[in-house]
Amino acid sequence: MSRKIVVLAGDGVGPEVSAQAVRVLETVSDKANLDLEFEPALLGGAAIDAVGSPLPDETLAACRAASAVFLGAVGGPKWDTVPVEIRPEVGLLGLRKELGLFANLRPVKTIPSLVEASPLKNERLAGVDIVVVRELTGGIYFGKRSRSADEAFDTCEYTVGEIERVCRAAAVLARGRRGRITSIDKFNVLDTSRLWRETASRVFRAEFPDLEVEHLLVDAAAMHLLSRPADFDVMVTENMFGDILTDEASMLAGSMGLLPSASLGDGGPGLYEPIHGSAPDIAGRNAANPCGAILSAALLLRHSCGADDAASAVEAAVDAVLADGIRTRDIAAPGQTAVGTAEFGQAVVERLAL
């Protein structure tokens, strides 16, 4: 039976990096007989331009009917003047909410051949292997908000149920890894964070007594991510803290362009996207790093196709390309000639051992 993958290439560098991820998936599908089928659909600015909505009904229906959804990136200065209710980002947030994708997994690993690409001291980077689990359908992204000429507010809201389910997902993940979990909040200031810490503590104590649990304030966590990154295993946090901390964490790996993500709910199709944005400054120039997108495709194979071997093969192929010194512009050493987005994708395909 074929598996349908909806591809939302989106805006900016989205189409370029998506093309490389799809090319890798097509190769894997042929070699491992996965019978993947790809269906393009519109999201974000591309959808606004075509049909006037950042999340057209047909896109949502196609995503609901799919085995998995792959997304490039959305947004860009071109849509800065559209009404806020139909900004490109609204399409992405709506899709996450509609598909119930409450757990956003963002693995952060240092790649030995790339330690020079990180601005951090190399000795700090040895053994960094973290998964940040970001709550994705609640918090300040989705709370009540209002704006008038001289006043505005956004509200952060969480329910016990929302906190429990994402903490459970993170704890299950930690069990399959090094058994450590760090929950991050702003307990000393915010009521949502006090509810978060109480709920997280209760769930871990009652259901996961085998895990080593740590609670950190988000400001301290931002510091510890740089001073002792190798200590962390799974980190779980609310929506906006997770957004900010994962951009920071990407510099442990060396570039925003490197990190993948998987957004999962209770069954149903998962959504796979690099954590980077649409990078309008380099769009259309074959200059973007497709690693985040290709590694997101690996997560798609693992979490939505049950194809763990194929996922590992893609990850190994990316490692092999990097170990061979092939670099896109963002991670090239000073003076080194960088390859383009498509050439990097080709190099990954050539190294796929399946």
Of the residues 16, 185, 243, 330, which one makes contact with Mn ion according to CB under 5 A: 243
> Which of the choices Mn ion, ligand IPM, none does residue 184 contact, using the CB cut-off of 5 to 8 A by kind?
none
Which span (165-173, 189-197, 236-244, 265-273) binds Mn ion, by CB under 5 A? 236-244
In angstroms, the CA 43 to CA 282 distance is 20
Q: Which of 129, 154, 231, 247 is catalytic?
A: 247
Query: Is residue 135 a contact point for Mn ion (CB under 5 A)?
Result: no
Say if CB 298 and CB 107 are below 8 A apart.
no
Q: Which two tokens stand for residue 73?
A: 């990136």
Crossing angle between the packed helical segments 308-323 and 291-304, to the nearest 10 degrees = 160
- DSSP 8-state symbol, 315: H
Active site residue 281: no
**DSSP-based three-state secondary structure for 31:** helix
Tell me if residue 141 is catalytic: yes
Residue type at position 158: Y
Active site residue 80: no
Q: Which is nearer to ligand IPM, 192 or 239 (CB)?
A: 239
107 is a site residue for ligand IPM (CB under 6 A) = no
The dihedrals phi and psi of 66, each to the nearest 5 degrees, come to -90, 165
In one letter, which amino acid is 228? R
Q: Name the residue nearer to ligand IPM (CB basis): 22 or 132.
A: 132
Tokens of 36: 């993947």
Interaction between residue 238 and Mn ion (CB under 5 A): no
Q: Which of Mn ion, ligand IPM, none does residue 89 bind to, with CB < 5 to 8 Å depending on kind?
A: ligand IPM
Question: How many whole angstroms separate alpha carbon 42 and alpha carbon 47?
Answer: 5
Does the footprint of ligand IPM cover residue 139 (CB under 6 A)?
no
Q: Are 140 and 156 in contact (CB under 8 A)?
A: yes
Give least dist CB 63 to ligand IPM, A.
Answer: 16
Does position 48 bind ligand IPM by CB under 6 A?
Answer: no
Q: Which is nearer to ligand IPM, 235 or 310 (CB)?
A: 235
Phi-psi region for residue 301, left (φ > 0), alpha (ψ -120 to 50) or beta? alpha
- Report the residue number whose CB is nearest to Mn ion: 243
Which CB, 165 or 276, lies closer to ligand IPM? 276
Residue 115 vs 236, nearer CB to ligand IPM: 236
Mark whether 158 is an active-site residue: no
State the Cα–Cα distance between residues 62 and 99, nearest whole angstrom: 11
* 186 belongs to the catalytic site: yes
The mark string for 242-261 relative to ligand IPM (x by CB under 6 A, - otherwise) is: -x------------------
Instruction: Identify residues 57-96 at the interface with ligand IPM (CB under 6 A).
Output: 75, 89, 92
**Minimum separation from the CB atom of position 68 to ligand IPM (A):** 17
260 closest CA partner among 246, 280, 279, 241: 246
Determine which one of 11, 185, 243, 330 is catalytic.
243
Tell me: does residue 11 bind Mn ion (CB under 5 A). no
- Give whole-number Cα distances, 246 to 78, 137, 193, in Å: 26, 17, 19
Give the whole-angstrom CA distance, residue 244 versus residue 106: 12
Q: Is 233 in the site for Mn ion (CB under 5 A)?
A: no
d(CA 293, CA 278): 12
Burial of 306: CB neighbours in 10 Å, binned 0-12, 13-18, 19+: exposed
Q: How far is the CB of 259 from Mn ion (least distance, A)?
A: 10
Q: Which residues are catalytic?
A: 141, 186, 219, 243, 247
In the complex, the residues that contact ligand IPM under the rule CB under 6 A are: 75, 89, 92, 243, 275, 277
In the complex, the residues that contact Mn ion under the rule CB under 5 A are: 243
